[in-house]
Amino acid sequence: MTSKRLLALTAAALLALSACGGDDGGDAGTGGETNGTEQQGFTPPDLKPLDKLGTPEGELNIVAWAGYAEDGSTDPDVDWVTPFEEETGCQVNVKTAPTSDDMVNLMKTGQYDVVSASGDASLRLIASGDVEPVNTDLVPNYVDVFDALKMKPWNSVNGVSYGIPHGRGANLLMYNTNEVKPAPDSWGAVFDEASQYSGNVTAYDSPIYIADAALYLMKTKPELGIENPYALDDEQFQAAVDLLKAQNEHIGEYWSDYTKEIQAFKNKDSVVGTTWQIIVNLAQAEKAPVEAVLPTEGATGWSDTWMVATKSEHKTCAYLWMDHIISPTANAQVAEWFGEAPSNEKACAETADKSHCDTFHAADEAYFDQVWYWTTPIAQCLDGRTDVDCKDYGDWTTAWQEIKG
Partner 1 sequence: MLLLLLAPMAVLVVVYLGSLAVLLLSAFWTTDVFTGAVVKDTTFDNFRELVTTDVYRTVTLRTISVAAAVTVICAVLAFPMALFMAKVASPRARRVLVVLVVTPLWASYLVKAYAWRAMLSGDGVLNWALDPFGLTGPGFGLTATVVVLTYLWLPFMILPVYAGLERLPDSLLDASSDLGARAGRTVRSVILPLAFPAIVAGSIFTFSLSLGDYIAVQIVGGKSQLLGNLIQGNAGAANNLPLAAALAAVPIVIMVVFLLGVRRTGALENL
Partner 2 sequence: MILSRSARAALIAVMAAGLAFVYVPLVVVLVSSFNTDRTFGWPPSGLTLEWWGRTWDNPGAREALWTSVKAGLGATAIALVLGSMAAFAVARYRFFGRDVVSIIVVLPLALPGIVTGIALSNAITTTLEPFGVEFGLFSVIVGHATFCVVVVYNNVLARLRRTGGSLEEASMDLGADVFTTFRHVTFPAVRSALFAGGLLAFALSFDEIIVTTFTAGATVQTLPLWIFTNLARPNQAPVVNVVAAILVLLSVVPVYLAQRISSDPAGGRL
Q: Is 18 in the site for partner 1 (CB under 8 A)?
A: no
CB of 108 to partner 2, least distance (A): 9
Query: Residue 73 binds which one of partner 2, partner 1, none, with CB within 5 to 8 A depending on kind?
Result: partner 2
Who's near 375: CB < 8 A, 6+ residues apart?
34, 119, 120, 123, 154, 230, 382
- Measured in whole angstroms, the distance separating CA 133 from the mean position of its chain's CA atoms is 19
Beta-carbon count within 10 A of 84 CB: 23
CB-based contact 179:268 (threshold 8 Å): yes
Taking residue 156's Cβ as centre, other Cβ atoms within 10 Å add up to 25
Nearest distance in Å: CB 70, partner 1 = 23
82 phi and psi, to 5 degrees?
Answer: -60, -45
The b-or-e profile of 265-289 (16+ CB within 10 A means b, else e) is bbeeebbbbbbbbbbbbbbeeeebe
112 binds partner 2 (CB under 8 A): yes
Cα separation, 388 vs 6, in Å, equals 13
Does 127 participate in binding partner 1 (rule CB under 8 A)? yes
74 binds partner 2 (CB under 8 A): yes
User: By CB neighbour count within 10 A (0-12 exposed, 13-18 middle, 19+ buried), where does 352 fall?
Assistant: exposed
Smallest distance, partner 2 to C-beta of residue 258, A: 8
Peptide bond into 182 cis (omega under 30): yes
Looking at beta carbons only, is 128 or 220 nearer to partner 1? 128
358 part of the interface to partner 2, by CB under 8 A: no
- C-alpha 206/C-alpha 239 separation (Å) is 18
3-state helix, strand, coil in the chain (%, to 5): 40, 20, 45
Give yes or no for residue 80 binding partner 1 (CB under 8 A): no
CB of 314 to partner 2, least distance (A): 12
Nearest to 58 by CA among 320, 330, 324: 320
Between residues 172 and 251, which has the closer beta carbon with respect to partner 1? Answer: 251
Residue 286 contacts which entry, partner 1, partner 2, none (Cβ below 5-8 A, type-dependent): partner 2
Give the CA distances from residue 256 to residues 173, 214, 292, 327, in Å, rounded to whole numbers and listed in that order.
15, 20, 18, 29
Task: Indicate whether 313 belongs to the interface with partner 2 (CB under 8 A).
Answer: no
Partner in contact with 93, chosen from partner 1, partner 2, none, beta carbon below 5 to 8 Å by kind: partner 2
Count of residues interacting with partner 2 (CB under 8 A) = 18
Instruction: Restricting to residues 239-258, name those near partner 2 by CB under 8 A.
Output: 257
- Cα separation of the two ends of the chain: 21
Cα dihedral sign, 117-118-121-123: positive
Rule CB under 8 A: say whether 244 interacts with partner 1: no
The verdict on 226 binding partner 1 (CB under 8 A) reads no
The smaller minimum CB distance to partner 2, of residues 286 and 402, is found at 286
Residue 109 binding result from partner 2, partner 1, none, given CB thresholds of 5 to 8 Å by partner type? partner 2
Distance CA 359, CA 371 (A): 15
Among 3, 55, 267, 401, binds partner 2 (CB under 8 A): 267
Contact track, partner 1, 146-185, x by CB under 8 A: ----------------------------------------
Which listed range, 65-73, 104-112, 287-295, 341-349, lies at the site for partner 1 (CB under 8 A)? 104-112
Smallest separation (angstroms) from partner 1 to the CB of 200: 9
d(CA 128, CA 298): 32
Q: Note whether 371 binds partner 2 by CB under 8 A.
A: no
Indicate the residue type of 235: E
Binding letters toward partner 2, positions 19-58, x by CB under 8 A: ----------------------------------------
Question: Residue 178: exposed, middle, or buried by beta-carbon count in 10 A (0-12, 13-18, 19+)?
Answer: exposed
Give the interface with partner 1 as residue ranges (CB under 8 A): 3-4, 7-8, 41-42, 99, 101-102, 104-105, 108, 123-124, 127-129, 199, 206-207, 248, 251-254, 263, 267-269, 376, 378, 392-394, 397-398, 401-402, 404-405
Give the interface with partner 2 as residue ranges (CB under 8 A): 61, 73-75, 93, 95, 109, 111-112, 257, 259-260, 262-263, 266-267, 282, 286
